[in-house]
């Protein structure tokens, strides 16, 4: 009896999935579940750090949202009369500049100017669309999503086309993760993972060992293609056609667009990029998803590691990624 009780007590001590020195908290931010995992820090300190990171991420959400209760600076730009200029907050302006630089480096695969197109397709609403929009309307939006219709001058950013709309949906989550990580660091967090809907950034290690991160299988629910080990300060982000989609006449229509066609990009099932920060990894995983083989070269040129999965489920990796990636079949 005593032995049984002792055993029960022992089991109770190990209950739950985490060790005592792991603090894990989940919040709903930017329309997705955000999980903070902090190891090797006293619980009260970890909780305080998470509160600061959450606050910071909500601040970023308010700057970039296009469907919040309060009008964001991005929405203010989107509502400008053609020819008008707006002074955007420094952070928004900097992320717009960075986004336009990635637009160029990715050969127009990633673009922060697709807001009109995304709204036309209906992917910005919580309810998914049921059928694709009219082809002519797609072409009108596609033409409006060009860098010639936005200009930075000494007074701010000028909007030059009546259909031009900004959308930071492919980069803002990464930026929010980076700001969240900065807040954690300020609170002396050295070992952590900050994950937001498939995008994540790690810090340090897990009890002295590298973090092991699975890369999601685009067609097997809950399955992985393989995994990478990350130690120190790195981010890994995956974009996939399985995140938000509808099926119409037997065809899958998802939320990542090829700016060339104005339609869902159709060469990849998913794309993954590893970078030093989540802003870069987020933007480039979207770019790689759209551009496949050409994107892989651009990813390498930007000194990042990446892989994409084509429509046959075949994986294509940069040299750097080949060294980091452990395919599932070998284990």
User: Is residue 110 part of the contact set for ligand AMP (CB under 6 A)?
Assistant: yes
Non-local (6+) Cβ contacts of 146 within 8 A are 113, 161
Residue 111's binding partner among Mg ion, ligand AMP, none (Cβ under 5 to 8 angstroms by kind) is: ligand AMP
290 binds, among ligand AMP, Mg ion, none (CB under 5 to 8 A by kind): ligand AMP
Based on CB atoms, which residue is closest to ligand AMP, 110 or 211? 110
Binder of Mg ion out of 170, 194, 265, 298 (CB under 5 A) = 170
Looking only at residues 2 through 41 of this chain, which bind ligand AMP when binding is defined by CB under 6 A?
A: none
Q: How far apart are CA 289 and CA 64, in angstroms?
A: 23
- The Cα–Cα gap between 41 and 208 comes to 13
Minimum gap (Å) between residue 2 Cβ and ligand AMP: 56
Asked whether position 30 contacts Mg ion by CB under 5 A, the answer is no
Stretch that binds Mg ion, among 168-176, 205-213, 251-259, 300-308 (CB under 5 A): 168-176
For Mg ion, the closer of residues 40 and 168 by Cβ is: 168
Residue 282 interacting with Mg ion (CB under 5 A) = yes
**Window 226-255: residues binding ligand AMP (CB under 6 A):** 239, 243, 255
Name the binder of 305 from Mg ion, ligand AMP, none, CB < 5-8 A by kind. none
Non-local CB neighbours of 296 within 8 Å, separated by 6+ positions: 288, 306, 307, 308, 316, 317, 318
Q: Which of 118, 144, 196, 288 binds ligand AMP (CB under 6 A)?
A: 118
Work out whether 290 is an interface residue with ligand AMP (CB under 6 A): yes
Specify the long-range contacts of residues 310-314, CB closer than 8 Å, at least 24 apart. Answer: 310/267, 310/268, 310/269, 311/266, 311/267, 311/268, 311/269, 313/218, 313/219, 313/269
d(CA 46, CA 212): 21
For ligand AMP, the closer CB: 116 or 169: 169
Strand segments (E) across 2-140: 22-29, 32-39, 85-86
User: Is 185 exposed, middle or buried (CB count within 10 Å of its CB: 0-12, 13-18, 19+)?
Assistant: middle
Nearer to ligand AMP, 19 or 33 (CB): 33
Neighbours of 96 (CB within 10 A): 22
**Helices 278-301/172-186 angle, 10° precision:** 120
Q: Is 308 in the site for ligand AMP (CB under 6 A)?
A: no
- Going by C-alpha positions, the residue among 67, 173, 84 that lies closest to residue 123 is 67
In the complex, which residues of this chain contact ligand AMP (CB under 6 A)?
110-111, 114, 118, 123, 167, 169-170, 239, 243, 255-257, 259, 282, 286, 290
In the complex, which residues of this chain contact Mg ion (CB under 5 A)?
170, 282, 286
């Amino acid at each position: 009896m005593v032995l049984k009780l002792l055993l029960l007590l022992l089991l109770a001590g190990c209950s739950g999935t985490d060790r005592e020195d792991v603090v894990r908290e989940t919040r709903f931010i930017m329309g997705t579940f955000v999980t903070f995992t902090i190891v090797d820090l006293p619980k009260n300190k970890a909780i305080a750090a998470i509160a600061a990171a959450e606050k910071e991420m909500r601040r970023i959400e308010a700057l970039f949202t296009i469907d919040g209760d309060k009008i964001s600076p991005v929405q203010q730009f989107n509502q400008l009369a053609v020819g008008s200029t707006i002074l955007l907050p420094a952070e928004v302006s900097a992320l717009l500049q960075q986004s336009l630089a990635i637009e160029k480096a990715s050969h127009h695969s990633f673009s922060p100017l697709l807001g009109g197109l995304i709204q036309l397709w209906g992917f910005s609403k919580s309810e998914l669309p049921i059928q694709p929009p009219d082809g002519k309307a797609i072409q009108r939006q596609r033409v409006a999503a060009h860098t010639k219709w936005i200009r930075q001058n000494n007074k701010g950013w000028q909007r030059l086309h009546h259909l031009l709309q900004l959308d930071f949906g492919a980069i803002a989550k990464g930026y929010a993760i980076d700001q969240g990580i900065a807040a954690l660091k300020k609170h002396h967090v050295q070992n952590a993972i900050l994950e937001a809907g498939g995008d994540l950034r790690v810090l340090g290690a897990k009890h002295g060992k590298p973090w092991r991160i699975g890369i999601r299988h685009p067609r097997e629910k809950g399955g992985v293609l393989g995994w990478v080990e990350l130690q120190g300060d790195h981010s890994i982000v995956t974009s996939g056609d399985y995140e938000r989609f509808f099926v119409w006449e037997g065809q899958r229509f998802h939320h990542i667009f090829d700016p060339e066609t104005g339609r869902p990009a159709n060469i990849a099932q998913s794309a993954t990029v590893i970078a030093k920060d989540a802003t870069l990894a987020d933007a480039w995983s979207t770019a790689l998803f759209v551009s496949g083989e050409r994107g892989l070269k651009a990813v390498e040129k930007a000194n990042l590691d990446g892989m994409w999965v084509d429509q046959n489920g075949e994986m294509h990796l940069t040299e750097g990624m080949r060294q980091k990636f452990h395919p599932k079949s070998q284990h």
